[in-house]
Structures are given as C-alpha cells and as structure tokens.
Amino acid sequence: MAMRLISTRTGVETTPEQAVLCGLAPDGGLFVPAYFPQVSMDEIESYSEMPYAQVSAAVLGRFFDAIPNEQLLGMCERAYASFTDAHVVPVRHVKDRLYAMELYHGPTLAFKDVALQILPELMAYSAQACGDGKKILILVATSGDTGKAALEGFCDKPGTAIAVFYPDDGVSPAQRLQMATQKGENVAVFALEGDFDACQRGVKTLMSDAAFLERLDKAGYALSSANSINFGRLAPQVAYYFYAYAQLRKMGQIQAGEAIDFVVPTGNFGNILAGWYAKQMGLPVGKLVCASNENNVLSRFFASGTYAAGEVLHKTTSPSMDILISSNLERLLFELTGRDGALIRQWMQAQKIGQPFTVPEEMMRRAAEDFEADWASDEQGAQAIRQVFEQTGFVLDTHAAVGYCAYEATRSERATVLACTASPYKFAQDVLAALGQKSEDARDASNRLAQATHTQVPQAITELWQARILHEDCITQGQMEEAVCGRIHA
C-alpha cells in the first residue's frame, strides 16, 4: 500500500511529497504516517555493512515509496557527501555500556544537518512531482541550530527562498555568527525580539494566515517550513537510530534483537520522536530517555501527565533546548490517544492560549512503556562535561551534557546510546568554563578549548572569524510579514 500521511487534527490525507511542500497541514495539525512501515531484523542486520547514505535511503524509502530506489540513494549520497566523518554519524564508545552517537559532522556542526542536507533534495523532487511551477518559500524558527542548517541546505537552491528567525538574545556567539554571515542570493536572516517560542509562534501564525498566503501566491510562491513540524525534516532523523544500532552490532557490543536505550537531549521533541518512530518500525529499543534543561516542561509532563508551558523561559548554556512549546509532542499525543483528532484539537487550543492540559493516566502509562525523562541544571551539565572528560577524554557539548545527566539518573543494564547533538566548539566558552578555564571571547575560547582537550577547532568554526556580517536586522513579531515580503518582493 502506497504511503499516505494524515493530519493530527482532522485526519485529512496527503502524499509524502505534498506534505514536504506544505510543511504544516491545512488544518494547523502535523502530518504523520498513516501507518508505520516495518523493517525486519534481517534487514537491520544488513545495515551494519552499509554506508550511512544507503541506510538512510533504505529507511526513507519506507516513507517516500514513490521515489525510485536508485534516485533516492543518489539524493542521500549527495546530501551526505559534505560530512567530515566517513561514517557521517559515527558511534563511539564512551564508558561502560554507554556510546556516543555523534550527529555533528555536517557543515554546520549540529544534528539538524542530517535532515536539512537531504530536505532540499526531497523538496526538489516533490516540487517536480506535484508540478505547480511555484517557487517555495521556507520559513524557519530556530533556537540556534536549525536556522544555520536550513540556510546551508537551501542556500542558492533553484526555485527556493528561505527566511530564518532566531531569538536576538537566545543563541550562542558561534550560532549567531553562523547565521549572520550566511551568503546566498535567496536567503534572509532576522533576529527577533523575544525568545524561541515567539519565533515559532510567529512562523506558525504566518503559515496559517490566509492573507499572507494569498500575497505569496500572487508573487508565485508556495509556503513550506524546514522546522521539524515538516515531516520531510523528521523522517530523515529516523535513519540514524537504525544506523546506530547496526554499528553496535558491527562492533560486537550487542546481540541481534537485543534492545538498547537512547538518551536524547531535546526541546522541541522532534529528535526523540524520530527514535520512537524507529521503535514503531521494528528497531529493538528499550527506553527513550527525554533529557531537558531548566526549561523542563517535557520532564514535568512525563512525570505528571500535565503539559504546562509556564510563563518564564530560562536562558541556559544549552540554548537549542530553551523551548517551552514542544511542537512535536503533538505527534506522540496523537498516537497515545488512539489518533483522536478532536482531543488533539482541544489540547492544542488550550496550549495556544497558554492553558495547561492533562493527559489521562491510561495514556501516560502507555507512554511510560517507551519513555523516561529527567532534567539537569547548567551547573549539573558543567559537572558532567568535566567528569566525562577527566574520566574518558570524551568532550561533551552543553546539550549532550544534559543528556549525560539524564543517563546517570535513569541508567539501565542495557547498552545506551547518547545523542550528541552539536560540536562542543559551537558552545566553546561554556564548555571551556566547565573544564575550569574562562574566556570572554568566543574565538579565544575555541583555541583554548582545542589546547585543553587536544582536539582541533573545526574548519567551519575557524572560517567564522573571518566572515563578513551580512544580516543585522532585528525585528518584532509584528514586522515578520513585511520583512519576509520585502526580501522576496511580494
């Protein structure tokens, strides 16, 4: 049966290609697979002898089954050719039965590259398949990493334009420089007054604004998103869970069919949801550990069953997780409710007006079969960075450090894979401080971190210090529409 996607709110159906192009469902919901395609243990075993691009194509092909296999493999090979590690997503032993899944060897040094290098390929195929001839405008809200990864992926891609919004006071110096220096004739970058949730709220508002959509249509544009609300962003992330498992098999660390745990630092819930999708498809997964920083709405949700975003966003040393509205949780809730779109609409409306909602105990017991959750403070994260480096020589970034704390709080007897979502050099000042040194300058911090850890500053970071600032605008949420339309002359 050909794959179809359905909305979490009304069950409206579409093809995977159409879902990639529109990003958000027309009813405001998120697209999910109509069913979870299955991957046999024999096939998972075969992944251990495949390069990453081939595993990615095999997993993506379960969802994008209209794309010919050879064509999809070529798309994946092009997407991952720029990664600096031959494994693309290497898995390394840290200590005991803990392994690091390094997701930061792409061009922007963050896990978002794994999805955002292939998404332009999927969009180009989808645009040709759906054939309406319009250009695609991609809107992106970012807490730091998605923005640069999307800019890098879509820079000067024919038939596209991209506008990225990031919180003016909510990203690291390296993250800001990565976005502010982005070249490309089709890109626009804006700092936004407020936090990430303001950026995300503004993008979602624009995507459902009929007048804005009509304005774009007259200018020859269709609207899409590169955030993980877009199924085309989420699906590629499923592949690296299969790949990590296959690599542990190749290393002889687990038996065929043996369940393993994954610990995932997450704010928007997309990365960990991809792991849950892999489990639904047949990957032997024990528990998925949801790791939060001080903005611990997710860990509180899993503990209490009540999602209450609260009013105060804490600025932390793990800024990519400084999020109060975890968009992808909607996809999990849809499954926990038995795909009850009416109940999802009710909860999402409550969330929209800032009201908490509570999930029935029976559904939370179901969630507890797959998930555990914990959180860590900045201080605890810094202690983890120092402890792991002193014990093993492995350098965690500030987000992986939060994950490590959750691992220590929830660890089982199973082999466990920690998702390391960004290079330590994207947060060099905070990582250096955790190791007992301080620097007020990001460039100096990178150099001193390299000396302290006997590692090398990535080229992508060294190039930032010479790059010219190209995007300096800081706007309010109310100015987003005009800012975008001014750049694309709509």
Query: How much is the CA Rg of the chain, to the nearest whole Å?
Result: 21
d(CA 77, CA 151): 20
Contacts (Cβ under 8 Å, ≥6 apart) of 389: 395, 396, 435, 453
d(CA 299, CA 371): 10
Largest separation between any pair of C-alpha atoms in the chain = 60
Q: How many CB atoms lie within 10 A of CB 157?
A: 17
Could you tell me whether strands 416-420 and 13-14 are parallel, antiparallel, or unpaired per DSSP bridges? unpaired
> Measuring CA to CA, which residue among 242, 251, 129, 142 is closest to residue 471?
142
Dihedral sign computed on CA atoms, order 18, 21, 23, 27: negative
> Measuring CA to CA, which residue among 94, 187, 108, 83 is closest to residue 140?
187
SS3 (DSSP) at 301: helix
Contact 334, 231 (CB under 8 A): no
DSSP string, 182-239: ---TTEEEEEESS-HHHHHHHHHHHHT-HHHHHHHHHTTEEEEE-STTSHHHHHHHHH
Residues linked to residue 222 through DSSP beta bridges, in sequence order = 136
Residues linked to residue 94 through DSSP beta bridges, in sequence order = none
Residues linked to residue 14 through DSSP beta bridges, in sequence order = 5
Record the tokens describing residue 91, joined without a space.
């898995």
Kindly tell me the number of DSSP H helices and DSSP E strands found in the chain: 22, 16
Q: List the end-to-end C-alpha distance of the chain, in Å, as a whole number.
A: 41
The secondary structure of residue 51, as a DSSP letter, is: -
Residue located via tokens 């609207």: 223
Q: Which residues are catalytically annotated? A: 112
Contact 320, 144 (CB under 8 A): yes
Record the tokens describing residue 226, joined without a space.
């590169």
The secondary structure of residue 313, as a DSSP letter, is: P
Record the tokens describing residue 10, joined without a space.
């009304």
